[in-house]
Structure 1
Amino acid sequence: MLKKKNRVITDQVEFVCLSELVPQDHLLRLVDASINFDFIYDEVKDLYSDTTGRPSIDPVVLIKLLVLQILYGITSMRQTISDAQVNLAYRWFLGYGFQEKIPHFSTFGKNYERRFKESDLFEKIFERVLFEAIECGFIKADAVFFDASHIKANANKNKYVKKMAQHRVHKYKRELMIEINADRESHGKKPFTDDNDNDSDGTMIEEKEVKESTTDPESGMFHKGEKERCFAYTATVACERNNFILGVKTAPGNVHDSQVFTDVFQDVIEKFNDIKAVVADSGYKTPGVCREIMQANKIPVMPYKRPMTKEGYFKKYEYVYDEYYDCYICPNNQVLKYSTTNREGYREYKSNPKICVQCSLRIQCTQSQNFTKVVNRHIWESYVEYAEDVRHTHQGQDLYRRRSQTIERVFADAKERHGMRYTRYRGLRKVQHYLTLLFACMNLKKLAMWKKKRGMLPPFSRTFPSMLSKFMKLVTINKSRLLAFRPEAGFVYTLERRRLIS
């Protein structure tokens, strides 16, 4: 039988409690119960005046607005405010009633520029959520998974200028130069002079030509493989087995992943002492990164890295290194002797051209005009070889397979569900703050769901019946005017507006 919906009910007045309209298992209710946001007041109290000025918007409300934007992947603060005006769950989460006016969409931006921009509020929020997960025993940091992903910047890729820019060289470059000179002296060669400029603290400075965006100068031109060339930022992230994010660092898109690794790695190992293995992809399989991991007494777990040798030529692994005599043996059993150590930290081993000119395998070995084959070996190559040995162990293979379930899934969720594919913010600091809060929200969401599964959340209290009883003492409702009474729906009373008791 055909039934038509009576729309008269939309013109009726209902006495309801906002808290009763939010389901018990709603995500925002779980998030609100899993952590107390009042700690934000202590973090920002020095940013507000105690004596002058008008009363401010509650800083917890400002942060919760950004949390709503991230949790539901809303593209802008303007849209977040628009949704909060009509979404009852959003209003409940913010602590706003039916008739209260939601703050203007520009309020957060003004407060960020005037108060939060130079503070460490977002890092404190990230640390607080992570601390709560640690206290609950959800963190299993025996193995840490590292990776980086790019975020498209809010900048036109065709609007840029070329310029020479100074940048700080990785701190291990100075350590490498010291070992290079020591290695050269041990072979009877002169040490190199330091041609790079030094900062006041002794950090090496290099100059190189870069493409600088005229829209967002702090972003960097990103280009990798078949991906589109664009201005972007990169986020280097570390997570543990249960996908809780342990650290995050943002850098311009033209900075290599291995250069940002140190900052995140040092931050993570300071917080967690029980880390045994560090799992990363082939982009981190460099002598410097492997050395840093092993010097921290951690096990580097990295995949096979394809040789960059041209097709049809012998691969580097086909040349055997003899550690005792410090030489290489070519596939034709000829010796390549040590020649020199270059500025990049590679020892050069060269063949005898008189032997190579008559070799039947020379076409597969080298096309050098002087018939000399050169094989390079980094002075920290032993660290990479150890990582290669770990790759063949059962532990290394099992840990690396978990990358698809851990760090790769973290980036997939961040981009598909929480809007990390693009950024509307400009400037490295703003993007860093936003990404820090984004990963804090991802941790908070997981924390809330895990607490629910383990029964660690406080029980849901139904406060509306007591409020209704107080209201009923003041107003007497005629039974003939009572249209609906549904206890299972949370004591919802409906009255016709034109017959409402004055």
Structure 2
Amino acid sequence: MMGDRRIDQAALFYEFSLERHVPADHMLRSIDRFVDLEGVRAHLAPFYSLIGRPSIDPELLIRMLIVGYCFGIRSERRLCDEVHLNLAYRWFCRLGLDGDVPDHSTFSKNRHGRFRESDLLRHLFETVVDRCMREGLVGGEGFAADASLIKADANRQRCVPGAAGLPPEAASRAINEYLAVLDDAAFGGATPVVPKFISPADPASRWTGADKGPAYFAYSTNYLIDLDHAVIVDVEATTAVRQAEVGAVRTMIERVAERHDLQPARIAADTAYGSAEMLDWLVNKQQIAPHIPVIDKSGRDDGTFARSDFTYDPAADTYRCPAGKTLKRNRRAFRTPRPNAPPDDTYRYRASKADCDACTLKSRCSPNTPARKVTRSIYEGARDIAREIAKTDAYVTSRRERKKVEMLFAHLKRILKLDRLRLRGPQGARDEFHLAATAQNLRKLAKLIPPPVPATA
């Protein structure tokens, strides 16, 4: 039979438990176990006045931001609406049923003020990394590094030629931040090359066509991950050029060693990080084994002998050609001693013209020059070590494990919806990248660390 019509009749009293209405398997329950914000108030205390009207609880703002980045809610206006309506979000933010959700403008005010002045989001990220270490998710033996392009909040149709520079009447917070980082190795100082186009809305973003499609303005998010469980141990925002991305890896390795006392034995990365200077820094200054392909442009496609066909003798500091002749750096004594390091960081070894003239292999060695010349980088020793590592089984394993960082970037863009920045300027990029990396580590903790089993009666 048909049931009775339900009439909406307000009751005088309600008994409602917010705790009971949040499912036991909800992801926020697992994440909440690892969110430790006890130090947030102490960290921010110097940036609040001792008098005046009480402010919004900063812990509430941080919890709301964690919810937004864990569930891909990019808009702060929408985040406030979702927290207002969703019971699980209210439970996680400690709002109860009748707690007031702060206005969306509160986030902007605090972000541009005390959050950035205190570097709170970096502090929050490092706190989560420390928790991952205490839970045993960070081995510290092997790291991987890579960068991914994230579109900036800049219209590619509204740009000016890079050679023309910014118009003198242009003024904004993003432009002021750009001018402040012109000498920063991660942004303006990364390369002297003038970009093809500049965005007046976000001049620190870089015009790039690295994706082989239509060019756009972008930043690079750089990850340094531990290979055991793909925990992000450091993150850095840079402009979208290779020099800045390579420099970011150095910054992250040094920072992780200083703040977390982590010194890996090996690091895996792609060919973009295989420059001679980078390999030398890893091998000789950090004592880290580079599981990285070497950038080598010494091969030839005209059928003549390549540099690999010449044998280097480190004791005599000479090369020996396929015909058995010797190539030397200096074939005569100079009155003025030559500097040990050449200006372009490249040594040149030359064969004797008499040896080359009488050689039967000259047509395959130096058909267009009187004598053969071979160049060698001053960092060639580190490059040779990297080449030897590339022949080992451990290198093959590292190349396979390196894909974990690519999976994190895919998760960042597809699940957390961070394929385009919402904030502008270098500081905006740092804020978003720190929050996204924090959310990824929290989700990793929730997935890998099971909840405690309740004790039976």
Q: TM-score, normalised by structure 1?
A: 0.74
Larger radius of gyration: 1
Q: Is the contact made by 2:190 and 2:241 (CA closer than 8 Å) also made in structure 1?
A: no
Residue 244 of structure 1: how far off its partner (Å): 1.1
Q: Is the contact made by 1:342 and 1:348 (CA closer than 8 Å) also made in structure 2?
A: no
2:156, 2:357 → 1: CA distance? 50
Q: Is the contact made by 1:168 and 1:206 (CA closer than 8 Å) also made in structure 2?
A: no
Counterpart check, 1:251 vs 2:251: no
Count of aligned residue pairs for this structure pair: 420
Secondary structure of the corresponding residue to residue 151 of structure 1 = strand
Q: Deviations over 1:222-281 (max 9, x none)?
A: 343635432211122111121111111111113522222211111122323452222222
1:124, 1:292 → 2: CA distance? 28
Q: Deviations over 1:320-363 (max 9, x none)?
A: 33334433344555554436965220112345567768978767
Matching of residues 77-476 of structure 1 within 5 Å: 77-158=76-157, 159-163=159-163, 207-211=192-196, 212-224=198-210, 226=212, 228-240=214-226, 241-256=228-243, 257-270=245-258, 271-273=260-262, 275-294=264-283, 295-303=285-293, 305=295, 307=297, 309=299, 311-313=301-303, 314-331=305-322, 335-338=326-329, 342-351=342-351, 370=369, 373-404=372-403, 406-451=404-449, 453=450, 455-456=451-452
Q: Is the contact made by 1:304 and 1:391 (CA closer than 8 Å) also made in structure 2?
A: no
Secondary structure of the corresponding residue to residue 328 of structure 1 = strand
1:359, 1:34 → 2: CA distance? 72
1:360, 1:11 → 2: CA distance? 105
Residue 205 of structure 1: how far off its partner (Å): 10
2:389, 2:219 → 1: CA distance? 32
* Correspondence for 2:24: 24
1:86, 1:361 → 2: CA distance? 81
* Correspondence for 2:174: none
Q: Is the contact made by 2:350 and 2:372 (CA closer than 8 Å) also made in structure 1?
A: yes
* Correspondence for 2:173: none
Residue 315 of structure 1: how far off its partner (Å): 4.1
Q: Percent identity?
A: 26
Q: Is the contact made by 1:167 and 1:207 (CA closer than 8 Å) also made in structure 2?
A: no
Q: Is the contact made by 1:338 and 1:350 (CA closer than 8 Å) also made in structure 2?
A: yes
Q: TM-score, normalised by structure 2?
A: 0.80
Residue 40 of structure 1: how far off its partner (Å): 1.5
2:382, 2:225 → 1: CA distance? 23
Which has more strand, going by share of residues? 1
Secondary structure of the corresponding residue to residue 33 of structure 2 = helix
2:294, 2:9 → 1: CA distance? 68
Residue 51 of structure 1: how far off its partner (Å): 1.8
Do the aligned partners of residues 105 and 9 (structure 1) sit closer, same or farther apart at CA in structure 2, a change above 3 Å counting?
farther
Query: Match of 1:40, as an amino acid?
Result: V
Do the aligned partners of residues 29 and 206 (structure 1) sit closer, same or farther apart at CA in structure 2, a change above 3 Å counting?
closer
Secondary structure of the corresponding residue to residue 347 of structure 2 = strand
Secondary structure of the corresponding residue to residue 215 of structure 1 = coil
Question: What runs of 5+ residues in structure 1 fail to find an aligned partner?
Answer: 172-203, 461-502
The more displaced of 282-291 and 372-381 is: 372-381
* Correspondence for 2:39: 39
Q: Is the contact made by 2:276 and 2:377 (CA closer than 8 Å) also made in structure 1?
A: yes
2:311, 2:3 → 1: CA distance? 82
2:252, 2:134 → 1: CA distance? 22
**C-alpha RMSD of matched pairs (Å):** 3.4
